[in-house]
Amino acid sequence: AQSVSQHNHHVILSEAASLELGCNYSYGGTVNLFWYVQYPGQHLQLLLKYFSGDPLVKGIKGFEAEFIKSKFSFNLRKPSVQWSDTAEYFCAVNGGFQKLVFGTGTRLLVSP
Amino acid sequence: DGGITQSPKYLFRKEGQNVTLSCEQNLNHDAMYWYRQDPGQGLRLIYYSQIVNDFQKGDIAEGYSVSREKKESFPLTVTSAQKNPTAFYLCASSIKAGLHTDTQYFGPGTRLTVL
């Protein structure tokens, strides 16, 4: 069975700091990987996704993630965070028929 | 204005009562999903439907039931058999069933509290 681990449950950063949120998955086959974000009071929305090709994926709002197959990882990065990035971030993997498996989420608080 | 709507936003019920959460989409998506979100546990799949009149259990289906009589609607009933129903419920949809690369789009959620 596939599973997703997000090791950082809470992250606090100051504005302009760099961000890296860890995501590791367990699944032996071909995977599709996603990062979703949930801003306070808003819908869960897609930040970026990886299906194939270039393992470095760029998403909205300056976020990017790198798929490292040998490490079963898909870490999310942003070089300089803003107060508006305060949100909960979810990594998800889909290794089978339409069933997304989500990590437990990471709450990011960016202080101005 | 396309999207996924869920109603109500907040719902309170007494123990022992069944309650139905609404989910409607006007995106013409084939597949629809119900998730439950609990603090520190992420999202867990309750039920999903790939096509009208068909649905499958997800990882935590016990105590829940669904129907898919219309393409645009996928209501979820939380029955009295659900041991811990207080949670935030999210509905999602995706374009085509069978394409595991499809992005899922989420509704605003319903927060259910059992008193």
pLDDT above 90 covers a percentage of chain B that reads 73
Q: Using CB atoms, pick whichever of B98, B104, B107 lies closest to residue A100.
A: B104
CB B37 within 8 A of CB B90: yes
Query: Cα(A58)–Cα(A76) distance, rounded to whole angstroms?
Result: 10
The confidence band for B115, taking pLDDT boundaries of 50, 70 and 90, is: confident
Q: What is the pLDDT of residue B39?
A: 85
Q: How do residues A62-98 score in pLDDT, each as one tens digit?
A: 999 999 999 999 999 999 999 999 999 999 998 766 5
Q: What is the pLDDT of residue A75?
A: 97
Q: Which range is least confidently modeled, A93-107, B75-89, B92-106?
A: B92-106
How large is the average pLDDT for residues A47-68?
Answer: 94
**Higher-scoring residue by pLDDT: A8, B24:** B24
Q: What is the pLDDT of residue B2?
A: 63
DSSP run (H or E) holding B114: strand B110-114
What single DSSP character describes residue B103?
P
Q: Which amino acid is at A108?
A: L
DSSP-derived 3-state class of residue B115:
coil
Q: What is the pLDDT of residue A71?
A: 94
Q: Using CB atoms, pick whichever of A6, A44, A98 lies closest to residue B31.
A: A98
Q: What is the pLDDT of residue B4?
A: 95
pLDDT of B1 > 60? The answer is no
Contact (CB<8Å) A97/B100: yes
pLDDT above 70 covers a percentage of chain B that reads 94
Contact (CB<8Å) A49/B103: yes
CB A19 within 8 A of CB A78: yes
Q: What is the pLDDT of residue B112?
A: 95
pLDDT of A49 > 80? The answer is yes
Identify all chain B residues contacting A99, using CB atoms and an 8 Å cutoff: 45, 48, 58
